[in-house]
Amino acid sequence: MAGGVVPVDSSPFSNGFAGKITLSVIITCIVAASSGLLFGYDIGISGGVTTMVPFLEKFFPHILRKAAATEVNMYCVYDSQVLTLFTSSLYLAGLVSSLAASRVTAALGRRNTIILGGVIFVVGGALNGGAENIAMLILGRILLGFGVGFTNQAAPLYLSEIAPPKWRGAFNTGFQFFLSLGVLVAGCINFGTAKKTWGWRVSLGLAVVPAAVMTIGAFLITDTPNSLVERGKIEQARKALRKARGSSIDVEPELEELIKWSQIAKSVEQEPFKTIFERQYRPHLAMAIAIPFFQQMTGINIVAFYSPNLFQSVGLGHDAALLSAVILGAVNLVSLLVSTAIVDRFGRRFLFITGGICMFVCQIAVSVLLAAVTGVHGTKDVSKGSAIVVLVLLCFYSAGFGWSWGPLTWLIPSEIFPLKIRTTGQSIAVGVQFIIVFILSQTFLSMLCHFKFGAFLFYGGWIVIMTIFVIFFVPETKGIPLESMDTIWGKHWFWRRFVKGEVAQENLP
């Protein structure tokens, strides 16, 4: 079979251990998933702030002078490397911290890493809100990036490890849900404060609120049993399992399984960053690199960062542009709820493929429309009617992303790695995402200026490539317990050549 789909029943562990949904699991997962608010709030706030006149007057007055010019290419108004550095510096810092987060998460645990990221984010948000010059602004962004790097690495792992296997997909989408909620809240705040002289300070400074709430909540939950066993805290792991699975459930079989896999991991005295490059982990590494890379090449974060700039450029007024960003965020949030409801029923591949088709059609349609109404050189004015059609198309595009590449990019890397390289694999996945976001956010406004409507064709082409990749190379992982995940690679038409014989040897007692 081309896609290498593995029926859940094919694994002897496919049903997992007793894993009913308990109130404790729901509460702890909500707290951990709320760290997505940090990343989402920043994505949503930065694009809106960069259209606020008081913010531009203080830090980027040359943008206002360019916008006031009588003859200017509509795609080039916001083309400024310093302005894009304000957005992209966070992601460069996130790249650095996400790689360091592998060791931190293994040594301190998932929960403590989330707390560390939250504290750093609070400091960065406070600096941004009180910034008096570009240096303070960029420093605050860098600290925000360090905080996001830690939380983005630890939270998806926490969710995948604490959730019952049968509902792991639904629980893990909680991270993307809060990320999307953060984007939506940020858009609403930008819309409400845009006309105030101090509005940009409120928008940037309020980043401390979700970070503080998440950090306080993280102090009240326990770490995952996997992490506790990994650090030798067996009794705490037993208590955490009882709390998560319910007092009526015998957790000893699951605990023994976790201890066994932890011992296997520790028996290999090798640097995790070397281990992950071994031939048997080639499929895992390919997914950790390809999936976050492809997610960013959908262009979604570029649309999220710069949607106010984009909509203002194509004919909507300032208020309407900010409102359009709110609408996009709301659509994304609703589509994510759809994903949460069906990801463990229809599987990951189905959502990837249908989302890819939807996004591709919308990107091509946006490009054709803009080419028709703005002309080859982008000098013709765009009517409000055409701008609204662009908004509608991007809403469908955002919906396609929301039920597919949005949540699944966090889910797949967090569930496919064995324990001994799980934190390392997640660090690589987050690091790849950050470096691609940095490159794209730093270059998009310039690309929009030069490519014009062709920028959307660029992303549409990548969506075709990534959908083909999913069809042929991404196996189905729904319902399979984390420690039985290696079974999917041995049954896949392509990846089995890398793991054949290796998995059986590793599973020996």
Residue 94 makes CB contacts below 8 A (sequence gap 6+) with: 145, 146, 148, 149, 152, 430, 434, 437
248 CB neighbour count, 10 Å cutoff: 9
Residue 2 inside a domain? The answer is no
* Model pLDDT, residue 3: 40
Do 408 and 352 form a contact (C-beta atoms < 8 A)?
yes
Residue 1 inside a domain? The answer is no
Q: How many domains does the chain have?
A: 1
DSSP string, 432-447: HHHHHHHHHHHHHHHH
Phi first, then psi: what are they for 378, rounded to 5°?
Answer: 70, 30
Structure tokens at 90: 């966070």
Residue 307 inside a domain? The answer is yes
* Model pLDDT, residue 253: 84
Residue 3 inside a domain? The answer is no
Structure tokens at 302: 């570029």
* Model pLDDT, residue 509: 40
* Model pLDDT, residue 356: 95
* Model pLDDT, residue 376: 59
pLDDT in tens, 321-369: 777 778 888 898 899 888 988 998 899 999 999 999 999 999 899 888 8
Residue 122 inside a domain? The answer is yes
Structure tokens at 412: 């797949």
Which residue range is the domain that position 374 belongs to? 8-506
Residue 418 inside a domain? The answer is yes
Residue 386 inside a domain? The answer is yes
CA 409 to CA 430: how far, in whole Å? 10
* Model pLDDT, residue 16: 47
HSE (side-chain half, CA atoms, 13 Å) at 437: 28
3-state secondary structure of 133: coil
CATH label of the domain that carries residue 260 = 1.20.1250.20
b/e per residue, 458-487, with b = 16+ CB within 10 A?
Answer: ebbebbeebbebbeebbbbbbbbbbbbbbb
Task: Collect the ranges in the chain with pLDDT lower than 70.
Answer: 1-20, 66-81, 267-270, 301-302, 304-310, 312-318, 374-382, 445, 500-509
pTM: 0.77
Residue with tokens 């957005």: 87
